[in-house]
Structure 1
Amino acid sequence: MAVKNQKVYEEARRPSPPRWSIWLGMLLLFMLLGLMGGILFVGQAPPVDAGGIWQVALGTPVLVWVMAISTRVIIYASYVRVADGWDEARTKDLEQKYKVGRRSLQVWGTSAYTALRRQGVSAEGQVSKLLAGVRAIKSQPFRIGGNVIRHSCIDGDGNADPEQILLQAFEQVLTDLAQVLEGLADDIPLKVLVEGDSQITEATLHRIWRSVWCKSGVRQSTEIISDAGLVAVNQWLDRGVEDNSLLLIVAFQFAPEQPRDTAEVVVGLLLGGCSPVPSLHPIACLHRPEFLRAPDSDVDLSVQQALEWVPINACSIEHVWRSGVDRYHDSLVTMALTSLSGAGAEKKKFHDLDSLLGSAGKAAPWLAISLASESIKLSAGAQFVITGGSDDSLFCHCAVTPASPNSV
């Protein structure tokens, strides 16, 4: 990440100003000592010049005091100047880091294919069902082996060919995104990230993907990237918008190795910076994710930092999506929800995709972001995502907000 609160230098320690009560007391003490010395010298014989004695006896302490206080003031002013310079440099550095930290990606297209999109249900209908709390997860025969396991699947026909079902789901997702890609120029680069979990062999998955991609009709030049999860978004934002390339993400979980309490999903997202064409308008803005790597991390600070990347107040969040959170991170989610619910809890709606659909594995972050973006298309406001990552040690928060006219 570009900015971490723990790595921001503290403000300079300010020196204590001169305490005039002490210095005035020192002046009186010096003058008292000078007075005592003058009395001793005046009383001596032979007689001495009394006026000169008193000038030396009283003038010397005052001169010493003036020199001491002047030195103290100069040292104090020097330290203040150094501290001002440090704080000014710190402010500029912090502004630059926050400028980088508050970069966001535009969501140009989304598609999420889950068990709720059976029988021709539209993307809007799927989101409406999830917003209403409709559950798709249930005990049913698993497509490989036939054992009855609690999960959700994208096709209820247990006798259907798994490869054909996955191919159709990929085709559905790419067809949805192709509506955006068709309006783009051929010279716009397309970075492609594909990740997922399945019992199907890698060779078979590659064959299915190549077949679907060839039929998609995508004309833009493509480059497969090796990044994974929301770390890819983080790194993309760190690099900044170097060109008008777009990031196409396809994530899936299909017939996983451990199917209990899981969801079969295929998700597609098209992300980028500035608008590749003037007529194209973003659905939403995906802001920088904030990661947690340890159970003892400050969850409240992480939530506030994720909101700060927008920036937005917790009171403005309308929907909170939770996805891909295992038991290890469940207590962290509870703390995060408590932090969010403290502000305007009555206005927020919490959606636990793990209990509605099942855990989506590596596709969990993308599923939550896609559904949050689709929710914004239905005139919803700012969304907050709490999700696990493709790396089991990662746990993150991020915000999805409606795209403003200035974002294009």
Structure 2
Amino acid sequence: MPVNLNTLPGPALRPLPPKPLRWLSALLGLVAAGILLMRFLGKLVGETTFWWFAIGIPVLVWTVLIGFRLAVYMMQQIHANAWDQRREQVILQEVRRGRRALQILAAECRTAHEADAQFTTVVEALLRNETKIFPQTSWRGEGSVRHSRLPVTEGLLPHEQVSAAFSDLLASLAEPLSRLDKDNPVAILLESSSSLSTARIQELWQNAWLESGLPQPTRFITEDGMMAIDHWLDHRIKDKAVLLVIALQIAPEHPEMTAETAVGLLLGNRLTQNTLMPLALLHRPESSAPQPEILQEKLLQAADWVPLLPDSLQHLWLTGVYRQNEAYQSAVVAQNKAPLVSIDLESGVHNFDEFLGDPGRAGPWLAIAAAAQAIGQSPVPHMIISGEQGSETVWCTVVAPIASHKENTA
């Protein structure tokens, strides 16, 4: 459930206190009325009953009235105090919930830059926006298709490439996974953009997991995309289970302007996971409409969940926001405002569509993996803006260096 502090009701309306001059005037008016009434009835000033009825009864009535008014005022104040106290508790609880984060325990990514791995790492190439999108033969055998491809052995079929990618990722993730208890549950989030069916992708993954020999019990989760992270932070923050995200785009249905990639992320809860040292923290994502004002508000909120110091963001990753869409234009506008204003537009902005191609459903996970690995070299926070596949929703999330504190259990 998204955390939105703007939807919380405001403070209680405080009642106005009794006004002394108004009540003093009322007392004088009652006394004057009592005196005139007694004179009208012919009572003499010197008689005891005159003063009793002229002053005593009006004062008594006034005392009862002001006592009732003060009692109502005090009850209203008690109710307002209770409302504001409960409101402050809810705000504190929601802020704590919003500031939950997941540990990034391992991050692996494969792109077309792997062909040059002997000279530079994939993450270094991504940080330099090294172009890998150019006309080449697609997996279908079509010539002069602008896209980027993973290094593949000639003659491999798409399902064989997917199996090889799964095996490669598991080989890299085997070390951190093997350090977990054998009965430590592993939740699997499997994201793919491929000409292969979802059922076939899952089958290939399960075969690769069995072949890896890893002993932990696994189970697929039903959520996908950044919504899966938001849901996990709300409902499974105290789980002992770790979340393994496997995302890939291999042999996409329409290769033009796409990027083949494979990503593996191992995420853990800060409240329960203390075996592995995290690389970085993945903070709560914020969903936004593509309009500039709304996106700007959500960017500020995503930064506040960390929370970030002013001008601390140094890198921005863009994926799934295309030049012809409103989301891209909104992202461009946001780069001139807080919290993105400190990012160098030449070296700090990394738009996959411009130098790698569209990674599809693997896009946000590729950006998270790249940011986590980059933080190992330079501990500065990264902002990620990603478009949700099949909708206009835009997600903003921060990958930041490890904090010294843990989120509250609220």
Normalising to structure 1: TM-score of the pair? 0.85
Q: Could you tell me whether the CA contact under 8 Å between 1:149 and 1:259 is conserved in 2? A: yes
CA distance in 2, matches of 1:277, 1:51: 86
The aligned residue for residue 12 of structure 1 is 12
Aligned ranges 1:158-307 → 2 under 5 Å? 161-201=157-197, 205-206=201-202, 208-274=204-270, 280-292=276-288, 298-307=294-303
Q: CA deviation at 1:306?
A: 2.0
Cα displacement string for residues 306-357 of structure 1 (whole angstroms, at most 9, x for unaligned residues): 2333233453323222212242422443454454346645699332223232
Q: CA deviation at 1:159?
A: 6.9
Residue range with higher mean Cα deviation, 329-338 or 375-384: 329-338
Q: Could you tell me whether the CA contact under 8 Å between 1:261 and 1:359 is conserved in 2? A: yes
The aligned residue for residue 81 of structure 1 is 78
Q: Could you tell me whether the CA contact under 8 Å between 2:101 and 2:270 is conserved in 1? A: no
Q: Could you tell me whether the CA contact under 8 Å between 2:320 and 2:389 is conserved in 1? A: no
CA 64–346 in structure 1, closer or farther in 2 if over 3 Å, else same: farther
Residue range with higher mean Cα deviation, 328-337 or 158-167: 158-167
Structure 2 residues without counterparts, runs of 5 or longer: none
Q: Could you tell me whether the CA contact under 8 Å between 1:155 and 1:165 is conserved in 2? A: no
Candidates 94, 116, 120, aligned match of 2:117: 120
CA 71–201 in structure 1, closer or farther in 2 if over 3 Å, else same: closer
The aligned residue for residue 144 of structure 2 is 148
Q: CA deviation at 1:153?
A: 1.8
Aligned ranges 1:347-366 → 2 under 5 Å? 349-366=348-365
CA 279–53 in structure 1, closer or farther in 2 if over 3 Å, else same: closer
Residue range with higher mean Cα deviation, 338-347 or 94-103: 338-347
Residue range with higher mean Cα deviation, 139-148 or 359-368: 139-148
Q: CA deviation at 1:218?
A: 2.0
Q: CA deviation at 1:114?
A: 1.0
The aligned residue for residue 88 of structure 2 is 91
Question: What SS does structure 2 have at the residue aligned with 1:315?
Answer: coil
Aligned amino acid, residue 18 of structure 2:
P
Residue range with higher mean Cα deviation, 44-53 or 63-72: 44-53
Cα displacement string for residues 28-56 of structure 1 (whole angstroms, at most 9, x for unaligned residues): 54455556x27x828x8785537764664
The aligned residue for residue 368 of structure 1 is 367
Q: CA deviation at 1:370?
A: 0.9
Structure 1 residues without counterparts, runs of 5 or longer: none
Aligned amino acid, residue 348 of structure 2:
K
CA distance in 2, matches of 1:83, 1:275: 36
Residue range with higher mean Cα deviation, 359-368 or 113-122: 113-122
The aligned residue for residue 130 of structure 1 is 126
Identical aligned residues as a percent: 31
Question: What SS does structure 2 have at the residue aligned with 1:317?
Answer: coil
Q: CA deviation at 1:247?
A: 1.1
Q: CA deviation at 1:156?
A: 7.9
Q: CA deviation at 1:301?
A: 3.1
The aligned residue for residue 381 of structure 1 is 380
CA distance in 2, matches of 1:63, 1:181: 82
Cα displacement string for residues 39-84 of structure 1 (whole angstroms, at most 9, x for unaligned residues): x828x87855377646644555544444333322221111010111
Q: How many residues align?
A: 404
Question: What SS does structure 2 have at the residue aligned with 1:237?
Answer: helix
Q: Could you tell me whether the CA contact under 8 Å between 2:290 and 2:326 is conserved in 1? A: no
Aligned ranges 1:44-55 → 2 under 5 Å? 49=46, 53=50
Residue range with higher mean Cα deviation, 375-384 or 304-313: 304-313
Q: CA deviation at 1:151?
A: 2.2
Question: What SS does structure 2 have at the residue aligned with 1:400?
Answer: strand
Q: CA deviation at 1:157?
A: 8.0
| Residue 105 (1) aligns with residue 102 (2) | yes
CA 11–258 in structure 1, closer or farther in 2 if over 3 Å, else same: farther
RMSD, matched Cα: 3.4
Question: What SS does structure 1 have at the residue aligned with 2:205?
Answer: helix
CA distance in 1, matches of 2:358, 2:46: 100
CA distance in 2, matches of 1:143, 1:5: 48
Residue range with higher mean Cα deviation, 241-250 or 357-366: 241-250
Q: Could you tell me whether the CA contact under 8 Å between 2:315 and 2:343 is conserved in 1? A: no
Aligned ranges 1:308-323 → 2 under 5 Å? 308-323=304-319
